[in-house]
Structure 1
Amino acid sequence: MREHLSVDREANAIQLRRETFSGVFLLVEGSSDKTLYERLVDNSECQLISYSNRKPSSKFCVIEIIKILDKNGFHGVIAIVDADFDHLGITPYSNPNLFRTDTHDLETMLLNSPALEKVIAEFGSEEKITRFGQDIRTVLLEVGTPIGYLRWVSQLDGLNLTFNGIKFSSFINELTLELDQIKLIQEVKNKSQAFALDSKNLQHRLISQQSSNDDPWQVCCGHDLVEILSIGLRKAIGSAKASDVESTCLERSLRLAYEETYFCKTHIYLSIRLWESNNQPFKVLRNEI
């Protein structure tokens, strides 16, 4: 009940803002999303609103607000949310004013662009990268996929496992970046205090889910990939201090390295441009993008 009262209040607040602003309201999940998209939109024609740390989730909040405003016939509002696992065969809620990221989330979109090479060039070691001998982006996906599948299994099976705050170095080799699935499961179980959960059964369930061979860009969580990159830049492909390449710093660097030309190659860009043509005179993106 509280969740619905909250989203009703947020929807009403947007409708009240129409009295002083005639442009587009763009709703996003968090402050980092807002920081990136503010560089891409026409700020005189589009105002961003973020909903960080909302319960049960920021994504739920954004989608529910869009539903309410659509029902009320309110025009000139769109939302961008992380796809999460929505592109993997699960039929999600759809709305012409709601857009999902091309890949799992905003961070995977950044990592799937040349912004990754820029960050590696800044913090990595050319000598160590050569010696490592593997494509960094491919390795990040290979290592991050089991974690992503475990997140998905937790969601599908209602396990409510906790991934926030897990120690990645407890299950990833710092020199080779190889992942130990047993140690991964144990770390997540410990963090979740799910001691009664059978590790072998969970591993079998994880292996079964992995056999579907889904697109890793849809499976992997961007925050996980950034954590893996952080570990790699300390030893495997660099010699950076841990404080210089902590995940929040790397995500900030990736956002700064992400150019407008990269965004223009995404499906979400094309979808927003189509929305603009179908909803004139509303405008979202800057003309030069």
Structure 2
Amino acid sequence: MIEYITPERIANSIMQDSTFSGYYLIVEGTKDYKLYNKFVTKEVSIKEAWGCEKVKELIGILKERDFEKVIGILDADFSVILEETIESDKIFVTDFHDVEVIMLKSTALLNILEFFCGEKKVKDFIGDRNVFDILVGLGYEIGLLKLANKLYDLGLVFKPEKLEGNPLKYKDFISEKDLSFLGRDSMIQTVTNYSRNRTGKVSTTENIENKLEVLSKQSYDLLHLVNGHDLTNILFILMKKVLKSTNKMLHDYNSIEDALILTYDNCEFIKTELFSKLYLWSREHEVNLFKQELVDQVKEKASLPLAN
């Protein structure tokens, strides 16, 4: 019933809660909650707003009501590529497209690969290659398609209407045999079939191909183009079908994202620009935002002598 939880209702619940006097951190959804909750103190209450625009709207409502004890974190999505800025000093944005890309570009990726599939299987398949680069390379085309859909209103849909709905079938354009990309035609056909009867009008295959061709001639920062949910779906194919993991905890891409959240640690988080900006903000505003062990690691890192 997430669709019925409006920013107004969340704002009302925040302002009516007399039992909590700390700061509120507004995030987009449950997985953001799970991740950031690992790092913040009990003096911070995390609230899901259920979407990027709802985070902005909620913080705007609270500002209008002169409620100051609130900040938000948003996925960057395509904002860097489209040169979009957020006019709020209370909203912070992820380094890359989303938190999943941040976690995948860390030691957490190899850790969960070896946990689910075994070190030997992983090494035999990966060899001297970088597994993150493999995922990004495969996520490029659908990332480009999502960007084209945003820019040209192609009427495409990439996720189910409800959480329990049927997901997009990545296996129809990413090979379950060797993880190869099965071609742009297969991808477009899969997404257009998935989108039919879900939006007002799905663009023609020819128009979609033309728009993709135009965008493919541009140079984009891949870490802002690729979508983390696409990468984790591709990673699921790698683990389950290509490497044939028999781990019973590996159900779908959600299992992978949960494993990333569990594995992603303080050492990785403090490397991000997002952490640096939040840490500086917390010091300037004298807010006890992060857990002490995280703060201690920052202080220890700062005190280390520089290498020659």
Instruction: Provide the rounded CA distance (Å) in 1 between the counterparts of 2:86 and 2:113.
Output: 37
Q: What residue is the counterpart of 2:191 in the other structure?
A: 188
Question: Which runs of 5 or more structure 2 residues have no equivalent in the other structure?
Answer: 160-166, 295-308
Match of 1:146 among 137, 141, 166: 141
Instruction: Provide the rounded CA distance (Å) in 1 between the counterparts of 2:192 and 2:95.
Output: 30
Matched, 1:286 2:301: no
TM-score by length of 2: 0.84
Q: What residue is the counterpart of 1:105 in the other structure?
A: 98
User: How many residue pairs get matched?
Assistant: 278
Instruction: Provide the rounded CA distance (Å) in 2 between the counterparts of 1:255 and 1:96.
Output: 27
Deviation at residue 244 of structure 1 after TM alignment: 4.2
TM-score by length of 1: 0.89
Contact 1:24–1:283 (8 Å) recurs in 2: no
Letter in 2 for 1:28: V
Question: Which runs of 5 or more structure 1 residues have no equivalent in the other structure?
Answer: 53-57
Question: 1:49-80 deviations in whole A, cap 9, x for unaligned?
Answer: 1133xxxxx11111111112223332110111
Q: What residue is the counterpart of 2:216 in the other structure?
A: 210
Q: What residue is the counterpart of 1:175 in the other structure?
A: 177
Q: What residue is the counterpart of 1:55 in the other structure?
A: none
Matched, 1:71 2:73: no
Instruction: Provide the rounded CA distance (Å) in 1 between the counterparts of 2:265 and 2:124.
Output: 29
Q: What percentage of aligned pairs have identical amino acids? A: 31
Letter in 2 for 1:49: K
Question: 1:218-274 deviations in whole A, cap 9, x for unaligned?
Answer: 1111111001011111343x2214964321111111111101111101111111111
Instruction: Provide the rounded CA distance (Å) in 2 between the counterparts of 1:31 and 1:135.
Output: 29
Question: 1:63-120 deviations in whole A, cap 9, x for unaligned?
Answer: 1111122233321101111111112133232311101111111111110111001011
Contact 2:7–2:49 (8 Å) recurs in 1: no
Letter in 2 for 1:181: R
Letter in 2 for 1:24: Y
Contact 1:115–1:258 (8 Å) recurs in 2: yes
Letter in 2 for 1:113: S
Instruction: Provide the rounded CA distance (Å) in 2 between the counterparts of 1:201 and 1:257.
Output: 42
5 Å-filtered alignment, 1:1-289, equals 6-17=6-17, 19-43=18-42, 45-52=43-50, 58-132=51-125, 133=127, 134-164=129-159, 165-179=167-181, 180-193=183-196, 197-236=203-242, 238-241=243-246, 244-245=249-250, 246-280=252-286, 282-289=287-294
Instruction: Provide the rounded CA distance (Å) in 1 between the counterparts of 2:6 and 2:46.
Output: 19
Contact 1:24–1:47 (8 Å) recurs in 2: yes
Letter in 1 for 2:210: H
Residue 181 and residue 278 in structure 1: after superposition, are their counterparts in 2 closer, same or farther (change >3 A)? same
Secondary structure of the residue aligned to 1:27 is: strand
Contact 2:49–2:58 (8 Å) recurs in 1: no
Instruction: Provide the rounded CA distance (Å) in 2 between the counterparts of 1:62 and 1:81.
Output: 8
Contact 1:23–1:283 (8 Å) recurs in 2: no
Q: Which sits farther off after the overlay, 223-232 or 87-96?
A: 87-96
